C-alpha cells in the first residue's frame, strides 16, 4: 500500500530564505506527483505536476524535483515571502484509477 510522508510537519523561516520541503513515497511505481498549496479554510491550489518520466518542473520561484528510484520529491521555494505561508501537500498518482494519495503536508510560516 502506497504511503506518502512529508517532512517536516511544520517549518518557520524568516522572509527571504530559500527553503526545501520534502516528500517521500514507499512505492516507486507512480505515474506522477503533484504539489499543492492549501490556505486555511480554502481548497487546494495545484502548484506543479511532475510526470514520472520527468526529473523536475519549475514555476516562478518554485522548483520541484522527482527521484522515482529513491521515492523522493522536493519542493524548493526561492526567496520566500510572507504570502508563501500555507500548508504544502504532495500527492502521488498511481495505478490506472487515477486517484491521488496525499501526504499530511508541511505547514510553512514565513515571518516578515
Partner 1 sequence: GEEVAQTPKHLVRGEGQKAKLYCAPIKGHSYVFWYQQVLKNEFKFLISFQNENVFDETGMPKERFSAKCLPNSPCSLEIQATKLEDSAVYFCASSRQQGPSYEQYFGPGTRLTVT
Which residue ranges make up the site for partner 1 (CB under 8 A)? Answer: 31-32, 34, 36, 42-46, 49, 51-52, 87, 89, 91, 93, 97-102, 104-105
User: Which residue, 15 or 39, is less far from partner 1 as judged by CB?
Assistant: 39
Distance CA 29, CA 66 (A): 13
Contacts of 98 (CB under 8 A, 6+ apart): none
CB 52 within 8 A of CB 30: yes
User: Which residue, 14 or 53, is less far from partner 1 as judged by CB?
Assistant: 53
User: Which residue, 13 or 44, is less far from partner 1 as judged by CB?
Assistant: 44
Amino acid at each position: 500500500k502506497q504511503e506518502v510522508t512529508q517532512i517536516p510537519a511544520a517549518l518557520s523561516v524568516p522572509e527571504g530564505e530559500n527553503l526545501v520541503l520534502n516528500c517521500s513515497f514507499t512505492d516507486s511505481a507512480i505515474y506522477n506527483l503533484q504539489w499543492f498549496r492549501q490556505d486555511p479554510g480554502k481548497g487546494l491550489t495545484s502548484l506543479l505536476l511532475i510526470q514520472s518520466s520527468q526529473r523536475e518542473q519549475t514555476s516562478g520561484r518554485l522548483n520541484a524535483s522527482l527521484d522515482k528510484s529513491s521515492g523522493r520529491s522536493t519542493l524548493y521555494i526561492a526567496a520566500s515571502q510572507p504570502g508563501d505561508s500555507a500548508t504544502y501537500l504532495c500527492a502521488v498518482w498511481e495505478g490506472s484509477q487515477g486517484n491521488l494519495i496525499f501526504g499530511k503536508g508541511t505547514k510553512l510560516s514565513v515571518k516578515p
